[in-house]
């Protein structure tokens, strides 16, 4: 079992930055990959970023590449999503998820555990 709790969401103006955190508990954190997804109103939930168990491999959606950075601290059992140059279209509920494989994936159904989500709102 893995429990995930996101934090760091909020309201920010376009061009601003936020850092999301996801604290994990349960299974050994360094034994699985992590991902971030988002769900905007009227749209399907979509992949944002993923990171392998060691942090050595990262993956990004084209829409956030160059603006968002995923990282993890295995000593703190936490994964982060640094979001810079935010745009109104980044407004969504952001979810972290755990993939019990080591490498990570862009595919939602490959993730085994999900957090409750944190709202990010970007005003224009």
- CA angle, residues 48, 7, 39, in degrees to nearest 5: 35
Q: For the chain, state the CA radius of gyration.
A: 13
pLDDT in tens, 20-73: 999 999 999 999 999 999 999 999 999 999 999 999 999 999 999 999 999 999
In whole angstroms, give the CA distance from residue 21 to residue 2: 16
**Nearest CA among 17, 49, 5, 23 for reference residue 120:** 17
The pLDDT assigned to 102 comes to 87
In whole angstroms, give the CA distance from residue 13 to residue 121: 8
Contact assessment for residue 108 and residue 114, using Cβ atoms and an 8 Å cutoff: no
Helix, strand or coil, per DSSP, at residue 59: strand
């Amino acid at each position: 079992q893995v429990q995930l709790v996101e934090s760091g969401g909020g309201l920010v103006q376009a061009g601003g930055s936020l850092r999301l955190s996801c604290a994990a508990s349960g299974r050994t954190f360094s034994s699985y990959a992590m991902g971030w997804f988002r769900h905007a109103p009227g749209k399907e939930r979509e992949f944002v970023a993923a990171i392998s168990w060691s942090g050595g491999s990262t993956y990004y959606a084209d829409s956030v590449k160059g603006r968002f950075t995923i990282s993890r601290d295995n000593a703190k059992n936490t994964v982060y999503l640094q979001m810079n140059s935010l745009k109104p279209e980044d407004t969504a509920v952001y979810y972290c998820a755990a993939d019990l494989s080591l490498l990570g994936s862009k595919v939602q159904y490959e993730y085994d555990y999900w957090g409750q989500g944190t709202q990010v709102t970007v005003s224009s």
